[in-house]
Structure 1
Amino acid sequence: MAEMVKLFVNGQEVEVESGKNLIDALKVVGIEIPHFCYHPALGADGNCRMCLVGIEDGRPPLVPACKTPAQEGMKVQLDAEHIKKIQRDVLEFELINHPVDCPVCDQAGECALQDYYMNYSLDDSRMRVEQVTKGKKIDFGSGVVHDQERCVLCGRCVRFTRQITHTGELGIVNRTDAARVSIFPGKPLNNRYALNIVDICPVGAMTSSDFRFKQRVWFLQKDPGICHGCSKGCSIYIDHHREKYKDDVIYRFRARTNLKVNGYFICDFGRLSYAAENE
């Protein structure tokens, strides 16, 4: 059994698992720390700075929650004004050149940027200069379509191809506001797990050509299931919807975390096998 420690969050005592980073440890007890770049399968990267939290009597007083393990007696500040300002500033930075095209974005309704803006910001843009434009509807291969203007450069997709598939098709090129995710010339995504990039993207920068513009996510009913694509039996979410006077239709399968079977991901063959269930 894991060792438990007691720490304080905004003055309230909570008991969490020792050694876990603050994002994962506090999530178990229902406390969310906003973040873009961190994913439990990819580890801490610390580049988005959205998860900065305050540590009372700590050195340094500001730390990224994704890289800070939970320790006995730690006093974590999440609602202090200087922490809220950091969150607002990071969101403002991410939205400077964002197209804010939520009404036509497939990620609308399950977008971290959208949710964090509503929960932590709601500020109007102060920018009075023309936005930087980037590539739209870029075919990365294997059914992945990229929108560079929506990208927050969290690097999850790049790390996925390097750490999980070990194929390394993606990279972040250029610097400052010219930085963008790209494939290498003549080398599109070419691995059996490429569509997981769509799942791990926290915003609408990576979309699936199979699901694009098929259904709004808030209409979908999400039920747990088991993939029948092979004998492994990966855990999945079945997203389906029944329109009035029509049959129930499955629109997509998504990976459901099961560390004993498939971890955080599923293969593309299994993901797309939903089509056979609709026949």
Structure 2
Amino acid sequence: MKSFLKTKDFSVTGEPFELLYDAETDMLVTAPRPKNLSKYYESDTYISHTDSRNTLTDKLYQTVKRYNIKKKIKLVTSIDQDEKTLLDVGAGTGDFLLKAKMSGWQIAGVEPNAPARERASQKGIELHSDLSEISNKQFDVITLWHVLEHLPDLDEQIQKLESLLKKEGRLVVAVPNFKSHDAEFYGTFWAAYDVPRHLWHFSKNAIQKLFAKQKMILVETKPMIFDSFYVALLSEKYKTGKQNFLSAFWRGLISNISAWKSKEYSSHIYILKKG
């Protein structure tokens, strides 16, 4: 693999990392991979593990999160299923599963972070700490909302996910796209690299190739329009030290306009079918 980009952990430690390009899969790999990843999640500002509304950025995140949850529920409900069984991997503080439960789904979830699991429990959502705790059960739909990029032993994890799906079940995967306009524009400062928490950085080709190993078929790709704005907001802060809301909004808009032609949005949702 050859060097693609040098960046650093902007949100917790400030440590330097490198992204290596894997031509075989058309994806980037974070190097070096720390032996102890848990310390890189030990931050009160890691928002997917909190329900924080302390800053304007937090409030914007939570507002978009509520809107996205509604869209996610609409998406999974549109998928044909037998019993409406749903597994959410990387469930955070449980808001998506709570809404799914209210919508008639039989739910299960996995979240490694103990404080996030506690917050979910306070909402009545009990989560497993690891995917290995789920066995002898299969689901109609499995969702990973910006989670796949965090999982070590990628091929092994994909194999496990495939085994937990019913025949013709659907896997819904949302991940950032390093080939988007905002990724190219911000380069080293692109917030969606989020090293070393993000171990892998996917293209559309990479997703298709990785899941094809388990004979899973990519049936649909959808854009995540709002991601470019939020990622640009964080990227502006990393690049300039300031929250340049107007610049971030403009860059997010430019990224989406560019993607109408290129089809390379800041993030994509991939819907994959088990054969």
Q: TM-score range by the shorter chain?
A: under 0.3
Greater RCO (CA < 8 Å, at least 6 residues apart): 2
Higher helix share: 2
Give the TM-score of the pair, scaled to structure 1: 0.23
Name which one, 1 or 2, has greater alpha-carbon Rg. 1
